[in-house]
Chains A and B, each alone.
Chain A
């Protein structure tokens, strides 16, 4: 009897603690939702209500009316995302193949370098990136952000490729090589179809990063309004005197839906890639 009350007590406490954790993690999301759904013309009392008095979808419309370039910003983010992910794949697939399948002296140092490179954030290379882009005349172009962004997605992309390729058996490739296939056609005809899950994972990881995680790169490299990604575009809701919070939250909701769903779809691969340290020979 004593045991079961103790167990029940434990169950209830754990449940409460878990709810607290979720509440903390969802606090800003909750605030975003109630703000996005609350009519924008309703004045905010202080302290703020915990539930909207009235629910409306008009903020989504208003957001587009207030910042007519919103679709353009979303399109820009999309272009950055696609650009970064294609470039990352273009480099990560052959690099990963080489690191996973061939044995050469520089292999291990290169693997370590890939891990090391993954530690770099845009802030650390900001100055040279700016100087290089300026000397190439690429400031204010899509290419500058895509090139600079890829620097930071390629390491993890390569890493994901290597760790995935190491899990597939070599036999088929070896058979193909004996049959007279070149290394290149082995890669394109045999390896690439086999590693398609990793390709999808890398594509989405790099897409999300290019879409919205590289705030600082666009901040520095893009000056024209027309080329700004959504993260910078959202600043249009901030004016000198006030912030249009209702519309801003509605816009954030729209612009995070895509990355959130994509991320949730591939988080398994990313977690696996980050946890598997496959430095082994």
Chain B
């Protein structure tokens, strides 16, 4: 793993292409300059900055969805008012087991504007009059891929939060009720503070996974329509493998270096929180 990593950094200083990776020229920081200056589809920001920006918004949205719905789901499945908790808990895991590529294909069909059940259900409930084109409208596609990615990560979130919730002793809640606290206060005063380490670790893990997410966007939209969903991983792939004449691996490597730096930064926080949890 170290060797490929070193290779990435090394290649990012060369001008090279897949057609002939051995014939390369040292270009110093040219590839990094290219990252900042190459404007093609967007007059204001460079190709790379656009992709990075999209990635950040996409990741933030997706992780936020995962954490919020995941927390709500975990609270729900942990509540003693819910009949059949065990059944629900078992069901929640199932989507996790489906390979991402397959679930993305399933989603592509489910969201199909003419024949998918999502549109069908909404039309039958008279929520919409015309089918929504989930994947061919740029903004819609961006949001849709985000939601599908959240769907993929949700079971993991729910299970993790659930195991965190189960480790909180009931006596704390009972004491809170005696002291006259209602459920909202006990959530903010007991659940949230005690769950903080779990939420932190799981969110950081999810941030990295989401930031690296490729399969889902690739299968649903290939970065389209009009490059609306071209996040950093998709841009890296496109630069290195699809637009060979235009890009070349040197440029893609420079992009990857940024990707690695972001992931490393999150990892540092992640390892710190893990260590803190152990010392306690």
Give the interface of A toward B (CB within 8 A).
7, 10-11, 14-15, 17-18, 21-22, 24-32, 34-35, 44, 46-50, 112, 115-117, 119-132, 134-135, 151, 208, 211-213, 215-216, 220, 231, 234, 243, 245, 248-249, 252, 255-256, 259-260, 263-264, 267, 271, 274-275, 277-280
Closest Cβ neighbor of A28 among chain B residues: B106
Task: Decide if A14 touches B88 in the complex (CB within 8 Å).
Answer: no
Task: Decide if A126 touches B97 in the complex (CB within 8 Å).
Answer: no
4 extra A-B contacts, CB within 8 A, seeds A21-B88, A128-B4, A208-B99: A50-B117, A131-B7, A216-B218, A279-B274
Bound complex: CA of A271 vs CA of B91, how far in Å? Answer: 16
B interface bracket (residues with beta carbon within 8 Å of A):
35 or more
Listed from nearest, the 10 A-B pairs whose CB atoms lie closest are: A121-B212, A212-B99, A263-B97, A128-B7, A128-B4, A28-B106, A277-B274, A47-B120, A31-B110, A260-B97
Number of A-B pairs whose CB atoms are under 8 Å?
A: 231
Residues of B34-82 contacting chain A, CB below 8 A: 69, 73, 76-77, 79, 81-82
Task: Decide if B105 touches A119 in the complex (CB within 8 Å).
Answer: no
Q: A15-B83, A127-B249, A131-B21 are in contact. Are A249 and B92 (CB under 8 A)?
A: no
Closest Cβ neighbor of B85 among chain A residues: A18
Task: Decide if A135 touches B81 in the complex (CB within 8 Å).
Answer: no
Contact of A25 among B11, B151, B212 (CB under 8 A): B151
Bound complex: CA of A122 vs CA of B106, how far in Å? Answer: 23
Question: Most B CB atoms within 10 A — which of A123, A245, A249, A275?
Answer: A123
Closest Cβ neighbor of A112 among chain B residues: B271
Bound complex: CA of A72 vs CA of B133, how far in Å? Answer: 35
Closest Cβ neighbor of A155 among chain B residues: B1
Question: Most A CB atoms within 10 A — which of B94, B119, B259?
Answer: B94
Contact of B81 among A14, A274, A280 (CB under 8 A): A14
Task: Decide if B21 touches A245 in the complex (CB within 8 Å).
Answer: no
B interface majority secondary structure: helix
Contact of A127 among B93, B205, B256, B278 (CB under 8 A): B256
Contact of B237 among A7, A26, A216, A267 (CB under 8 A): A216
Task: Decide if B92 touches A22 in the complex (CB within 8 Å).
Answer: yes
Chain B neighbourhood of A277, CB < 8 A: 201, 274-275, 277-278
Check if B131 is an interface residue, CB within 8 A of chain A: yes
Chain A neighbourhood of B274, CB < 8 A: 115, 277, 279
Bound complex: CA of A21 vs CA of B157, how far in Å? Answer: 13
A/B interface sample: 30 pairs, CB < 8 A:
A10-B81, A18-B76, A21-B69, A22-B88, A25-B94, A25-B154, A27-B110, A27-B118, A29-B95, A30-B117, A47-B120, A48-B120, A116-B271, A119-B267, A120-B1, A121-B214, A123-B256, A124-B256, A126-B236, A126-B240, A127-B249, A135-B21, A212-B101, A213-B99, A213-B101, A249-B109, A259-B98, A267-B96, A275-B163, A277-B201
Chain B neighbourhood of A243, CB < 8 A: 109
Bound complex: CA of A75 vs CA of B201, how far in Å? Answer: 37
Closest Cβ neighbor of B233 among chain A residues: A123
Contact of B1 among A15, A117, A220 (CB under 8 A): A117
Task: Decide if B241 touches A11 in the complex (CB within 8 Å).
Answer: no
Chain A neighbourhood of B219, CB < 8 A: 215
Bound complex: CA of A280 vs CA of B274, how far in Å? Answer: 10
